Amino acid sequence: TGMYGKWSLGLKGTSGAPHRKGFDEFLGYEDQSEAHDYYVDRLQTIHNGVTINVDVDTTQYTHDLFMDASLDFIERHAQSESPFFLYLPVTIPHAALQVPESSLETYLDEDGNSIFPETPFEGNGYAAQKTPLTTYAAMVSRLDHDIGRIKGKLEKLGMDKNTILLFTSDNGPHAEGGYDPQYFDSNGPLRGMKRDLYEGGIRVPMIAWAPGMIPQNRNSDHVWAIWDLYPTLLEMAQVDYSSTSTDGLSMKEALLGRTVTQTHNYLYWEFRFREVFKQAVRRDSWKAVRFTNSDGSSHTELYNLDQDPGESKNLADKYTERVKELQELMDLSHEEPDHKEFHISWIDR
């Protein structure tokens, strides 16, 4: 098991450290707040079963280090013919907009100027950037190229017929570091972005690739969530997880293009940001979003996603019983974190 990129579930010395979560190899940012800078003098790795610091050349783009380590990981396991799990939580594109100059050329005119209408970003905790749109586009293109390198490596090594490649995002588009998500229509027809519990903040696409196993050129609108990946991958790897506690459901049948028999009764999200606690529940086509302020006051909105995927028509006043039903699911699903102050400060970053 190998992981390269951004970790955010626990620092060394805690129960959430990478080496205590099943990873044999790791190179990356153990503290996700440090992952806003792509030119650093140290990262973390696993050595002799524990997480340690490792010096890094500050002129190297850390994303490139993670990609090279991932390709090396794949090659070594191809030679040993041993099964592997590779987790690649890439750091681009993220709030700080930085990329090597070589990636910018596609989006510059003959005079070296951006082809986009740029508004320079002066910096406010994130790196200043004269051409945020150009840099963002270049970061996406660099990542796209690098995922192609992984796919190409698997094909070259003859591993494409017994490897599953999944690519997705942890949230919707952001509006930090000078980036304007409206320019590239980053959330499409959906409302909201990162830190919102509207669909634009939490609904993301996934690309699945496994020649001979996952049907090609097919789209699926089956509703599933990131916590379903764990049981899905275990089942596809023919690992018995019947004794494992998980909220997820295997979506193997959905990936294989078959009729899905297991579906969630509902899906639940929550997010505490600054003074507002947000909760959302989706059951079938109905979606409720509740906002609770620090003084205890709250309001709930209701949407029918089949008829209104952009969540533009609040139906809470019309369907009061439906609102009550979904609010009860919110109350049932919420658990107070053990370390509330740490939980809040981490999310505020």
pLDDT at 102 over 50: yes
Give the Å distances, CA to CA, from 99 to 110, 113, 115, 283, 318: 20, 16, 17, 41, 49
Please state which of the ranges 116-125, 256-265, 320-329, 333-342 shows the lowest mean pLDDT: 333-342
In SS3 terms, 279-304 reads as EEEEECCEEEEEEEECCCCEEEEEEE
> How would you classify residue 22: left for phi > 0, otherwise alpha for psi between -120 and 50, otherwise beta?
left
Instruction: For the full predicted model, state whether its pTM sits above 0.75.
Output: yes
pLDDT at 349 over 60: no
For residue 54, the number of C-alpha atoms closer than 13 Å in the C-beta half-sphere is: 15
- In this prediction, residue 346 carries a pLDDT of 39
Average pLDDT over residues 308-335: 97
Give the Å distances, CA to CA, from 284 to 46, 267, 305, 314, 324: 43, 9, 9, 17, 16
Q: Give pLDDT tens digits for 66-82.
A: 999 999 999 999 988 88
3-state class (DSSP) for residue 195:
coil
- In this prediction, residue 8 carries a pLDDT of 86
Two structure tokens written together for 117: 């209408």
59 alpha carbon, distance to own chain's centre: 26
- In this prediction, residue 191 carries a pLDDT of 97
d(CA 170, CA 195): 11
